[in-house]
Amino acid sequence: MQESDRETPGEGKTLNTRRSGRTRPTRPPADARSANSRRPRLAAGGLGSRALPPAKRDAHPPNEPPERVRRKAARRPSAGSGAAGAADLTLRSFADRIRQMRARRGMTRKVLARDSGVSERYVALIEGGHGNISLLVMRALARALGVPLEVLVREGPEPPVDLVHATELLKSLSPDDLRAARQMLRDRFASADSASRHRRIALIGLRGAGKSTLGAQLAAHLGVPFFELDRLIEQESGQSLSLVFDFHGQQGFRMMERRCLERLLNEHSHFVLATGGSLVSEPTTFERLLDRCLTVWVRTSPQEHMQRVIRQGDMRPMHDGQEAMAELKRILREREVFYRKADIQLNTSRQSVPASLAALIRELERESAGRGQSEPA
């Protein structure tokens, strides 16, 4: 029985029935029933539950004396300071992180709602900074324990102590020192030597940059095989990419992506590879690519990205117009910090395919020459 169907204590009286001698409650007054029907109901699982905003929860009874209302308002922290201000900041930060992760993966809000089991409406509330109060409870527990919030929500076993200490050391470095430390770690512990990395060339970047076109022609020029990671995933699954996402979700697709990349690295020592635009959003897979391949960021302007996608037969940008362009710019902005980790950047904006290919070959030759000079005789 739902909460709105239960009788409110004190609101119904009992009447004696002449025939059975039993008693039955009368229906509550109309105003009481309407008040009950407005009570929030929890959806299945609680993920899409309707929660009253703080302003409604804190509303005072209509007959409460004004002096008591003023005293309660004086005790309540303001939205911009104290506990309420910190709570708002936590919810906004969490909302920003959700939007960033979604943009980096190229996921729509509807796909995120479907894969997570959270209603699309509630995902919108979370991204608007109106998350569930349980997030604030987790933050309070973390503060009471003296640990970061991510320690409480981290999945998997407790990390080794040395990893924790190394992470704290890296956090204290400046951005320039952090990049230098990362390069030192790669040089010291990389699983592939420099020569083998340069025999495997991986092109990264947004869809429409020219990865497939340039990759195929570069492979023909070098006399090595050319692969598209998305096509390898389709071959393994026996499904199109859209069906892979429909049947296996984002997580299933990422597992196939990593598995296909590993198989390619194990079976081929020379190749040119065109990757999916969102691969960079998966830290483990992207780090593996950076470790084993010479990476090239193929880039162009957002306007040319859009035009090339339309020429490939995808007419959705034509229907969405300015909204599609804004979404493209947002995705590029979120991923750019990852794309910049590539060894080479190639701008194909306003360049023909032969001109872009010639520029790419020159950059590869320059990179190879620099590697030869840096290696000991």
Q: Measuring CA to CA, how many Å separate 210 from each of 221, 282, 293, 345?
A: 16, 22, 19, 13
Question: What is the spatial distance between Cα 253 and Cα 231, in angstroms, rounded to a whole number?
Answer: 12
Confidence of residue 315 (pLDDT cuts 50, 70, 90): low
Helix, strand, coil share of the chain (percent; to 5):
60, 5, 30
Q: What confidence score (pLDDT) does residue 309 get?
A: 78
**Average pLDDT score over residue span 92-116:** 81
Q: What confidence score (pLDDT) does residue 32 get?
A: 47
Q: What confidence score (pLDDT) does residue 192 get?
A: 64
Residue 11 has pLDDT above 60, yes or no: no
Question: What is the spatial distance between Cα 110 and Cα 121, in angstroms, rounded to a whole number?
Answer: 9
The DSSP code sequence of 210-221 is SHHHHHHHHHHH
Q: What confidence score (pLDDT) does residue 90 get?
A: 72
List, in order, residues 6 or more apart from 332 with CB less than 8 Å away. 206, 302, 305
Q: What confidence score (pLDDT) does residue 133 get?
A: 58
Beta strands at 200-204 and 344-347: parallel, antiparallel or unpaired: unpaired
Q: What is the pLDDT of residues 39-98, one digit of tens each?
A: 433 333 344 444 444 444 444 444 555 455 445 544 544 444 556 666 677 777 777 877
Confidence of residue 145 (pLDDT cuts 50, 70, 90): low
Taking the alpha carbons of 68, 69, 70, 75 in that order, is the dihedral positive or negative? positive
Taking the alpha carbons of 109, 110, 114, 120 in that order, is the dihedral positive or negative? positive
**Average pLDDT score over residue span 300-311:** 83
Q: What confidence score (pLDDT) does residue 374 get?
A: 53
335, 365 contact by CB (below 8 A): no
Residue 244 has pLDDT above 70, yes or no: yes
Lowest-pLDDT choice from 39-43, 101-105, 217-221, 361-365: 39-43
Size of the chain, expressed as the number of residues it contains? 377
Q: Measuring CA to CA, how many Å separate 182 from each of 187, 293, 361?
A: 9, 16, 27
**Average pLDDT score over residue span 270-282:** 93
**Average pLDDT score over residue span 136-147:** 71
Residue 361 has pLDDT above 90, yes or no: yes
Range 150-173 burial, b when 16+ CB lie within 10 A, else e: eeeeeeeeeeeeeeeeeeeeeeee
Residue 151 has pLDDT above 90, yes or no: no
Please report the domains of the chain, with CATH numbers, ordered by start residue: 87-154 (1.10.260.40), 194-374 (3.40.50.300)
Residue 18 has pLDDT above 50, yes or no: no
Is 349 in a helix, a strand, or coil? coil
Q: What is the pLDDT of residues 174-183, one digit of tens each?
A: 988 988 898 8
DSSP secondary structure letter of residue 95: H
Q: What confidence score (pLDDT) does residue 135 get?
A: 72
| Sequence letter at residue 129 | G
Residue with the larger pLDDT of the pair 8 and 332: 332
Confidence of residue 360 (pLDDT cuts 50, 70, 90): very high
Residue with the larger pLDDT of the pair 89 and 264: 264
Q: What confidence score (pLDDT) does residue 107 get?
A: 83
229, 256 contact by CB (below 8 A): no
Q: What confidence score (pLDDT) does residue 57 get?
A: 42
Question: What is the spatial distance between Cα 30 and Cα 33, in angstroms, rounded to a whole number?
Answer: 5
Q: What confidence score (pLDDT) does residue 82 get?
A: 59
Q: What confidence score (pLDDT) does residue 28 get?
A: 52
Q: What confidence score (pLDDT) does residue 196 get?
A: 84
Residue 263 has pLDDT above 90, yes or no: yes
Taking the alpha carbons of 102, 107, 113, 117 in that order, is the dihedral positive or negative? negative
Q: What is the pLDDT of residues 26-40, one digit of tens each?
A: 555 554 444 444 443
**Average pLDDT score over residue span 349-358:** 92
